[in-house]
Structure 1
Amino acid sequence: MRERQWITDRRSELDALAEQLTKELQEVQVERDELAIAERVLNRLAEQVRADAEAAAPATAQVAGRAVLLIPHRSDATDEAALPGDYRRILAIAREADGPVQVRAVGERLGLNASVRGKLEPLRAKMTKLADRGWLHKRPDGRFTARR
């Protein structure tokens, strides 16, 4: 008799567990469906952002077989949007400064390790390129100011 009662009790427990698992499985399937939809939406948005970025990307040219960004002359471009993002950040830092800025100060604002000279040379080259194109003014003392 006891065995029958144990079997009946155990069957009830397993039926309740099966019901609970069935409910959880349905919830999991609903969430997976929602995630699949969210993934499709994100992929479409990523494609759109990529297409927009390609359309707004600065022109590139081939130099010695390598693609390089073209930094337009200030007179050729009506606004800063024609510049790549890192050049726009450099220009914004120079504009925010009260006076002429050193490359080291700009590097520190950009989060570069300014104590290592080699880390500042690429920045100096970018700032010089901006000066050559009329976006910045390079002073004889090596500091830069933004052209208004």
Structure 2
Amino acid sequence: MSEQVAAEQASTAPVSAQVGGRGVLLVPHRAPGVDKGALPPEYQRIPAVVQQAAGPVMTRQVGEALGLNTGGRGALEPLRGKLTKLADRGRLRKLPGGKFTARL
């Protein structure tokens, strides 16, 4: 259980790196001039899946569309962390019921 909690905290914590001696977020906030190409590769497909959906999507639906294993207990927690991180950075909207939609 502690490993799962640690993995979840690591996946939702802002990740930064040093570029030119300055700290930068690996998942940048949505802003004019910052396109989805600035996202790490594993994050680039997630907004596309959410945008293609007919309405709000659950984490499981996104995982199935990405071809991830969605059957095991806790298998979706890393993806849920990525979806939440994208929502926190303004790239997706997180609805109260735990569903996600594209940010217009």
Question: Which residue of 43, 56, 59 corresponds with 1:87?
Answer: 43
**SS of the residue aligned with 1:61?**
strand
Question: What TM-score do you get using the length of structure 2 for normalisation?
Answer: 0.73
Aligned match for 2:55, one of 99, 103, 108 = 99
State the partner residue of 2:103.
147
Q: Which residue of 1 aligns with 2:17?
A: 61
Change (3 A) 1:76 1:61: farther
- SS state of the match for residue 72, structure 1? coil
Q: Superposition pairs for residues 61-140 of structure 1, below 5 Å?
A: 61=17, 70-75=26-31, 77-140=33-96
Query: Within 2, Cα distance between the matches of 1:117 and 1:79?
Result: 34
Moved beyond 2 Å, runs of 4+: none
Structure 1 regions of 5+ residues with no counterpart?
A: 1-58, 63-68
Cα offsets for 1:94-144 (capped at 9, x unmatched) = 010010010000001111111113110000000000000000000000000
Cα distance in 1 between the residues matched to 2:54 and 2:42: 21
| Identical pairs, percent | 60
- Rg larger in structure: 1
Structure with the bigger percentage of strand: 2
Q: Find the aligned partners of 2:82 and 2:16 in 1 and give their Cα distance.
A: 16
Write the distance in 2 (CA, Å) between the matches of 1:73 and 1:140.
21
Quote how far apart the aligned CAs of 1:78 are: 2.4
- CA pair 86-77 structure 1, distance change in 2 beyond 3 A: farther
The SS at the match of 1:140 is coil
